[in-house]
Amino acid sequence: MEIIVCIKPVLDPDLPPAKFTVDGKKNEVIPPEGVPFVMSPYDALAVEAALRIKEAQGGKITVLTQGTKYAEEIMRKALAMGADEGVILSDPAFEDSDGFGTAHVLAQTVKKIGKFDLILCGRQAADWDAGVVGSLIAEYLNIPVVIRAKSIEVLDGVLKIERISTNGSEVFELGLPALVTLSSEMGQVRIPSGWGIISAAKKQVPKWGATDIGTDPSQTGAAAAVNRLVKLYVPVYERKCEMVTGKDPAEAAARLTEKILAIKP
Amino acid sequence: MTTKNILVFGEVEKGRLAPITKELLGGARRLSDQVGAGVNLLVAGALSGESLQDAAEFGTDIIYHATDPGYGEFSSDAYSFLAVELCKKIDPVLCLMGQTDLGRDIAPRIAARLGAGLCMDCVEVRFDPAQNIFVQTRPAFGGKALAEFSSPAGKLQVNTIRAKSMEPAATQAGRKSELMEIKEGPDPSAIKTKLVSVKVLETDGIKLEEAKIIVAGGGGLGSAEGFTIIKELADALGGVIGATRVPVDENWVPLSIEIGQTGKIVSPDLYIAIGISGAAQHITGMVSSKKIVAINKDPDANIFKISDLGLVADYKTVVPVLIEKIKESAR
Ligand SMILES: Cc1cc2nc3c(=O)[nH]c(=O)nc-3n(C[C@H](O)[C@H](O)[C@H](O)COP(=O)(O)OP(=O)(O)OC[C@H]3O[C@@H](n4cnc5c(N)ncnc54)[C@H](O)[C@@H]3O)c2cc1C
């Protein structure tokens, strides 16, 4: 199995709301000092899924990430988890691409790599949360796609995917090559071992740009974005909270009950 | 010649139009009146006479009903094919879908095939008459931010809409719409995935999204037993239980009751949050509840910031009192 995994660095999604601020002029998030970017958690699940398949039946895992900032860090993490190779897609022309632009870059990279059976992505990047890049790559490569998988089985060249749905789950069968996006129901992601970290540090990770992968300049970068971000802001949801107290928890609870009964529909 | 139109990709639940579809028709109706367009509805699979009537009364001008058995059950491949073929034929200015299993799946695929603009999980789509464009607002960064996008003029927009963010139109009893049957099935070469089985986690009674009262538990409940306690509270109040992601990840409760960015979007009259910290990804799914009550042992928990009533306590000591008092009041 030749597996390609696409990963993205994101501002740590567990950052508490109090530390989250936006530059209203530039329409950009201001990353707080000392808070590292991380591999988008769903993408880490995609790496994990690839490793499980490789452990079950052998194969090679190549990780792709597009970006300049933090690409190196998260690539090392994926390699330390056990991925075999990585490529960083880095070119000023790629910066600030929208979902279509990003998918174009990744699809072109996959074409250049040539040989692959399975592409894995996270169900959505934990920053913009759109959840479209995986499906768009599949469209550009004209291969089948299943989104939000919780388990992947490969049997005689047929993929069996269980994916979550609003009211339960569904099982699909599809042929290879294919693209699958992973959801958190897949389970735990492994922590890199010391040995993994050491061997990852030694690996060469090539950087490819627009000319290496033959992207169409009219399809990447901020200028190619179809819908444009015009405003980014922090919504204010705060309400005035009446704190209910009492001489002991039981009394406080009794008071709260009265208030609940008063507002209960 | 096609007439200017907005296309809604509808969904049917138990033979009737799904609530999200009524919301989309409401949004489409309001936009269409500003844009000067008709509202078309695409639905696939079995459809009752009542849902056709629903569609008309909620504001549809033309219903396109795909009746081929190939559209009998949801298929990303088949439905993408269907939507693309219809869009090519009727050339809508805007295509709306719910941020549902269907919308998440097919919106990016049809946008790619039609070279359309795409915006997912919108909480608002408005029309800017000065620029003759649609403007979308959507949450980002797990709900910590809202982002507004402008779309290019003269290009189809494919937008998915978050549940409960558009108001259904007031129904007009007896309103009629035109019914067009799409008899052709999907091109067999377009079907690349095969659905082999479906597991439905049946919820007993009221659906979470439609409940008026939700008692939700978080990681602070500590165990599956904790949910037995809050279920009793929910029962006493005539409500249902919900959860954050932590109890779902811990397998205390099924995924089907997760609320938030990656779970369900709810907006009940009363939301009681117990042992919930108030992470952005959870809040984004419940913040529009009419009244929010929080019980948390940490006085600094973020959940209190968005609540109307708060109690700082260990839930184990206070929830049994709540249950007893509520039962008493009902007697
Ligand atoms: C990309 C992404 C998507 C996500 N999507 C979702 C989503 O859709 N929905 C969702 O809910 N989460 C989601 N999360 C997770 C989210 O960030 C939080 O981790 C989660 O909501 C926290 O759940 P919690 O508040 O129940 O648990 P915790 O953070 O563990 O908080 C437990 C709370 O209980 C209180 N507590 C502890 N013991 C007691 C007691 N005995 N009595 C009373 N109070 C007590 C504590 O003070 C604390 O405030 C997502 C995360 C990411 C990164």
For the cut 90, the answer to whether the pLDDT of residue B31 exceeds it is yes
Evaluate whether residue B203 is within a structural domain: no
Which residue from B256, B282, B319 has its CB within 8 A of the most atoms of ligand 1, so it is best to mutate?
Answer: B282
Mean per-residue pLDDT, A199-205: 96
Residues B215 and B138 in one domain: no
Mean per-residue pLDDT, B83-92: 98
Evaluate whether residue B202 is within a structural domain: no
Residues B184 and B230 in one domain: no
Residues B157 and B47 in one domain: yes
Domain ranges of chain A: 2-224
Which is the closest atom of ligand 1 to the Cα of B280?
17
User: Taking Cα atoms as reference points, which of B104, B203, B115, B204 lies closest to residue B161?
Assistant: B104
User: Taking Cα atoms as reference points, which of A180, A46, A62 lies closest to residue A110?
Assistant: A62
Cβ-in-10-Å burial (0-12, 13-18, 19+) of B65 comes to buried
Evaluate whether residue B137 is within a structural domain: yes
Cβ-in-10-Å burial (0-12, 13-18, 19+) of A162 comes to buried
Residues B23 and B146 in one domain: yes
For the cut 70, the answer to whether the pLDDT of residue B103 exceeds it is yes
CA distance B66 to chain A (A): 23
Report the alpha-carbon distance of residue B107 to residue B94 in Å, rounded: 12
What is the sign of the dihedral through the CA atoms of B255, B260, B263 and B267? positive
Residue A145's DSSP bridge partners are A179
With a 6 Å cutoff on the Cβ, whether B298 touches ligand 1 is: yes
Q: Residues A263, B123, B305, CA angle at the centre, nearest 5°? A: 45
Report the alpha-carbon distance of residue B8 to residue B40 in Å, rounded: 6
pLDDT at position A223 is 93
Report the alpha-carbon distance of residue A20 to residue A25 in Å, rounded: 16
Token code pair at residue B266: 């709810």
State which of B160, B190, B220 marks the end of a domain.
B190
Q: What is the pLDDT of residues A165-186, one digit of tens each?
A: 988 899 999 999 999 999 999 9
Report the alpha-carbon distance of residue B55 to residue B33 in Å, rounded: 17
pLDDT at position B169 is 86
Q: Phi first, then psi: what are they for A127, rounded to 5°?
A: -120, -65
Distance between first and last Cα of chain A: 57
How far is C-alpha A231 from the geometric centre of its chain's CA atoms? Answer: 23
Residues B221 and B116 in one domain: no
Check CB contact under 8 Å for B104 and A147: yes
Please give the residue of chain B at the shortest CA–CA distance from A138.
Answer: B109
Residue B44's DSSP bridge partners are B66
Evaluate whether residue B198 is within a structural domain: no
pLDDT at position B47 is 85
| Strand-pair category, B145-150 with B133-140 | antiparallel
For the cut 80, the answer to whether the pLDDT of residue B86 exceeds it is yes
Per-residue pLDDT band for B43 (boundaries 50, 70, 90) equals: very high
Q: Indicate the range of B8-12, B15-19, B186-190, B264-268 predicted with least confidence.
A: B15-19
Q: Whose CA is nearest to atom 50 of ligand 1?
A: B281
With a 6 Å cutoff on the Cβ, whether B60 touches ligand 1 is: no
More confident: B3 or A89: A89
Return the percentage of chain A with pLDDT > 90, whole number.
92
Report the alpha-carbon distance of residue A161 to residue A181 in Å, rounded: 10
Residues B167 and B255 in one domain: no
Mutate one of A19, A21, A102, A132 to test the B interface: name it (highest B CB count within 10 A): A132
Which is the closest atom of ligand 1 to the Cα of B301?
49
User: Taking Cα atoms as reference points, which of A103, A115, A176, A169 lies closest to residue A140?
Assistant: A103
Token code pair at residue B243: 């959860």
C-alpha dist (Å) from residue B140 to A63, B61, B122, B244, B307: 25, 34, 10, 19, 22
Mean per-residue pLDDT, A44-64: 97
Q: Are A2 and A116 in contact (CB under 8 A)?
A: yes
State which of B190, B223, B241 marks the end of a domain.
B190
pLDDT at position B45 is 86
CA distance B264 to chain A (A): 8
Mutate one of B79, B97, B141, B248 to test the A interface: name it (highest A CB count within 10 A): B141
Check CB contact under 8 Å for A146 and B193: yes
Report the alpha-carbon distance of residue A62 to residue A84 in Å, rounded: 6
With a 6 Å cutoff on the Cβ, whether B242 touches ligand 1 is: no
Contacts of A260 in chain B (CB under 8 A): 237, 270, 272, 293, 309, 322, 326
For the cut 60, the answer to whether the pLDDT of residue B32 exceeds it is yes
Q: Whose CA is nearest to atom 26 of ligand 1?
A: B218
Mutate one of A26, A185, A241 to test the B interface: name it (highest B CB count within 10 A): A241
Residues B175 and B303 in one domain: no
pLDDT at position A104 is 98
Report the alpha-carbon distance of residue B117 to residue B130 in Å, rounded: 19
Contacts of B270 in chain A (CB under 8 A): 260, 263-265
Cross-chain CB nearest to B322 (options A144, A167, A257): A257
- Report the CATH number at residue B280: 3.40.50.1220
- Report the CATH number at residue B105: 3.40.50.620
Q: Phi first, then psi: what are they for A259, rounded to 5°?
A: -65, -35
For the cut 60, the answer to whether the pLDDT of residue B1 exceeds it is no
Q: Dmax over Cα atoms in chain B, in whole Å? A: 69
Q: How many domains does one find in chain B?
A: 2
Please tell me chain B's helix, strand, coil percentages from 3-state DSSP, rounded to the nearest 5.
Answer: 35, 30, 35
Evaluate whether residue B179 is within a structural domain: yes
With a 6 Å cutoff on the Cβ, whether B301 touches ligand 1 is: yes
Q: What is the pLDDT of residues A94-140, one digit of tens each?
A: 999 999 999 999 999 999 999 999 999 999 999 999 999 999 999 99
Evaluate whether residue B201 is within a structural domain: no
Per-residue pLDDT band for B203 (boundaries 50, 70, 90) equals: low
Report the alpha-carbon distance of residue A110 to residue A37 in Å, rounded: 25
Residues B172 and B222 in one domain: no
Report the alpha-carbon distance of residue A125 to residue B177 in Å, rounded: 41
Which helix (H) or strand (E) segment holds residue A227: the answer is none
C-alpha dist (Å) from residue B254 to B102, B197, B223, B286: 21, 19, 13, 18
Per-residue pLDDT band for B204 (boundaries 50, 70, 90) equals: low
Q: Phi first, then psi: what are they for A116, rounded to 5°?
A: -160, 150
Distance B278 CA to ligand 1 centre (A): 6
User: Taking Cα atoms as reference points, which of A187, A10, A7, A206 lies closest to residue A90?
Assistant: A206
Between chain A and chain B, the number of residue pairs with CB atoms below 8 A apart is 242
More confident: A34 or B268: B268
Mean pLDDT across chain A: 96
Q: Are B135 and A230 in contact (CB under 8 A)?
A: yes
Contacts of A170 in chain B (CB under 8 A): 195, 197-199
Per-residue pLDDT band for A54 (boundaries 50, 70, 90) equals: very high
| Strand-pair category, A60-66 with A178-182 | unpaired
Token code pair at residue A151: 């388990």
Which residue from B230, B255, B296 has its CB within 8 A of the most atoms of ligand 1, so it is best to mutate?
Answer: B296
For the cut 60, the answer to whether the pLDDT of residue B93 exceeds it is yes
Q: What is the pLDDT of residues B256-295, one digit of tens each?
A: 999 999 899 999 999 999 999 999 999 999 999 999 999 9
Residues B69 and B119 in one domain: yes
Residues B184 and B214 in one domain: no
The amino acid that residue B202 corresponds to is E
Per-residue pLDDT band for A218 (boundaries 50, 70, 90) equals: very high
Residues B257 and B165 in one domain: no
pLDDT at position B2 is 66
Per-residue pLDDT band for B83 (boundaries 50, 70, 90) equals: very high
Query: Can you spell out the DSSP letters for B18-39?
Result: -HHHHHHHHHHHHHHHHHT-EE
Which is the closest atom of ligand 1 to the Cα of B217?
26
With a 6 Å cutoff on the Cβ, whether B258 touches ligand 1 is: yes
Q: Are B142 and B284 in contact (CB under 8 A)?
A: yes
The reply to whether CATH 3.40.50.620 applies to domain A2-224 is: yes
Q: Are B133 and B148 in contact (CB under 8 A)?
A: no
Q: Which residues constitute the domain of residue B74?
A: 5-190
Residues B307 and B220 in one domain: yes
The strand ranges marked E within A14-92 are: 21-23, 28-30, 37-39, 60-66, 85-89
Cβ-in-10-Å burial (0-12, 13-18, 19+) of B207 comes to middle
The reported pTM is 0.95
Report the alpha-carbon distance of residue B307 to residue B303 in Å, rounded: 6
